[in-house]
Structure 1
């Protein structure tokens, strides 16, 4: 029996996905086209964070114009996945990134889990 499907949902003021250090995101980088890869590398700051990420406010400064590879809903296209698998991997990836950046007991991880619980009632 297949486990219950959970729908992925983003939370505000997180930014864990804006950590673009290529050595930490090799699978994602490999899935990009040559042009997307070039754009990706231009976006990586010296500290590994996206140049467009406002760390003080935890917001993307180009959110409405961000590249397609910054949109979780495009995971299915990049990795040729169905929606169930896309949501599963997005949730898993978000949790891993949040734990790595903010810690396993962080308020960010707790907010993300509460948001998932609310989204999937």
Structure 2
């Protein structure tokens, strides 16, 4: 079974433009939605995203909606813990395709990572070490 992982140097999920994320207003509460909106930079990317390294500057303190955990995904998307890996992998593939292209090196690299991964690091550990 494939296990979801965050891929170092990707950052596709850090593109927050609401026109690309039409579900956001419906899944976040008012306080989280206000926070989400405050994070959108003029270019559509999160203001804490470092484009050169494709890393999050606040990874350890990122908002709840930026975390891939069974609890968060069940609350926001209604995804059961058993469905989490498949759902999160699909989300990542969609975001990577949207940002970098359906035939991009990033997507090929992510698909390889997921296919060949045995044990992903814990969700709380930064993927960018």
Give the TM-score normalised by the residue count of structure 2.
0.83
Count residues in correspondence.
117
Mind listing any 5+ residue stretches in structure 2 that lack a counterpart?
120-129
Deviations 1:31-51 (A, max 9, x none): 111100000000001111100
- In 1, the alpha carbon distance for the partners of 2:4 and 2:74 equals 13
Give the TM-score normalised by the residue count of structure 1.
0.88
Please name the residue that 1:118 is paired with: 116
**1:24 partner SS:** coil
Please name the residue that 1:51 is paired with: 47
Q: Are 1:103 and 2:101 counterparts?
A: yes
Mind listing any 5+ residue stretches in structure 1 that lack a counterpart?
none
Deviations 1:21-69 (A, max 9, x none): 0111121331111100000000001111100000111000000000010
Please name the residue that 1:83 is paired with: 81
Q: Are 1:66 and 2:65 counterparts?
A: no
1:27-42 to 2 correspondence within 5 Å?
27-42=23-38
Tell me the CA shift for residue 80 of structure 1.
2.5
More helix by share: 1
